[in-house]
Amino acid sequence: MKEKIPNFLIVGAARSGTTSLYCYLKEHPEIYMSPLKEPKFFTAQSLKLPQNGPGDEADAERTVREFKDYKKLFSKVHHEKAIGEASIDNLYYHAEAIPHIKKYLGDPKIIMFLRNPAERTYSQYLFFRGVGKESLDFEDALRAEEKRKADNWSFFWHYAGVSFYHEAVKDYFANFSRVKIYIFEDLENDPLALIQDIFRFLSVDSTFIPDLEVRFNSSGLPKNRILYRILFSQNPVKKAAVRLVTRVFSLKKEKAKFKENIHFKITEKPDMNPETRARLIALFHDDILKLQELIGRDLSAWLA
């Protein structure tokens, strides 16, 4: 009997639409997605865990470290043609992850989403600032990045570092035969065309249309921090609200949509300082040009 393990992986990048993609793929009857979105099994074989940033210890507790436990994530696969998971640290830690992916999975299909590096960097910062993990302003957080790396904080804190893509993409091209790359703007501009192209890549029914109404895991700062904490932190009021929502919205998908819509309405995304943006564009300039040549796609908008 053929072993139930992934035949495709979503490898990143963080804050580039991978959570939305994961949710959309889960709806397809011919696709099985790991119930744990980010098992991080392949990087766990090499990284020193737990890492030391705020919240990193809790994140390490959710990480799957043994192959037998990784396989359990796919024990409920029945007749699905495509089996996948989405550990977005596999892109940033490509040198660590790729040998283990090849060892355990062979040559799976690889999907990656990339985003304007300056925007991705800022989005990650806003997300952590919004949930209360980040206390520094954006410029100070960027200056603190090298110290955080040296102190073994997780990749999420490497705001600018995660936004360099060229070497990682080149590494995946060199090691896997089927690599599909999309950019965040594809999801923004025509999500149906994008998702159906992915269905074709995964050799499943491409006429299936998932619910594309909601974008998941958006970033932003709370308009009202007290209300935000009530709704999105662990507290008795939130638990009571969750029980109420559970009764009102019987379907898991509807509860997720409700949560994302509320999050969107009570947060806002302040503009990035223009000088900071200019510095980030200059920082990523050469990497963008090399990536553009590698993937054969016009990325000049990222340099605007």
DSSP string, 101-147: HHHHHSS-EEEEEE--HHHHHHHHHHHHHHTT---S-HHHHHHTHHH
Containing structural domain, residue 262 = 221-268
Mean pLDDT of all residues in 95-110: 98
Q: How confident is the model at residue 213 (pLDDT cuts 50, 70, 90)?
A: confident
Alpha-carbon span 12 to 9, nearest angstrom = 9
Same domain for 212 and 225? no
Same domain for 195 and 240? no
Q: What is the pLDDT of residues 60-70, one digit of tens each?
A: 999 999 999 99
* pLDDT for 85 beyond 90: yes
Mean pLDDT of all residues in 106-123: 98
Report yes or no on 1 lying in a domain. no
Q: What is the pLDDT of residues 126-175, one digit of tens each?
A: 999 988 899 999 999 999 999 999 999 999 999 999 999 999 999 999 99
Same domain for 81 and 226? no
Alpha-carbon span 14 to 117, nearest angstrom = 11
Q: Residue with structure tokens 């501009």? A: 189
* pLDDT for 224 beyond 90: no
* pLDDT for 241 beyond 60: no
Report yes or no on 231 lying in a domain. yes
Report yes or no on 80 lying in a domain. yes
CATH of the domain at 191: 3.40.50.300
Same domain for 20 and 168? yes
Same domain for 24 and 80? yes
Same domain for 47 and 157? yes
Question: Percentage of the chain with pLDDT > 70?
Answer: 82
Alpha-carbon span 177 to 227, nearest angstrom = 48
Phi-psi region of 40 (alpha: psi -120 to 50; beta: other; left: phi over 0): left
Mean pLDDT of all residues in 253-268: 58
Report yes or no on 55 lying in a domain. yes
Same domain for 234 and 205? no
Mean pLDDT over each residue of the chain, to the nearest integer: 89
Mean pLDDT of all residues in 37-57: 95
Same domain for 200 and 163? yes
Neighbours of 42 (CB within 10 A): 27
β-strand pairing of 267-268 with 221-222: antiparallel
Helix or strand or coil: residue 237?
Answer: helix
Prediction pTM value = 0.86
Report yes or no on 47 lying in a domain. yes
Neighbours of 292 (CB within 10 A): 16
Q: What angle do CA 173, 178, 180 make, to 5 degrees?
A: 80
Same domain for 184 and 235? no
Report yes or no on 3 lying in a domain. no
Report yes or no on 37 lying in a domain. yes
Q: What is the pLDDT of residue 194?
A: 97
Report yes or no on 2 lying in a domain. no
Instruction: Answer yes or no: are the C-beta atoms of 63 and 154 closer than 8 Å.
Output: no
* pLDDT for 263 beyond 60: no
β-strand pairing of 82-86 with 221-222: unpaired
Q: Which has more pLDDT, 169 or 225?
A: 169
**Number of domains within the chain:** 2
Same domain for 38 and 167? yes
Alpha-carbon span 299 to 269, nearest angstrom = 24
Same domain for 237 and 97? no
Mean pLDDT of all residues in 35-46: 97
Q: Residue with structure tokens 């590494």? A: 171
Q: Residue with structure tokens 């737990």? A: 50
* Closest residue by Cα to residue 85 from 10, 189, 161, 164: 10
Same domain for 212 and 235? no
Provide the residue count of the chain.
304
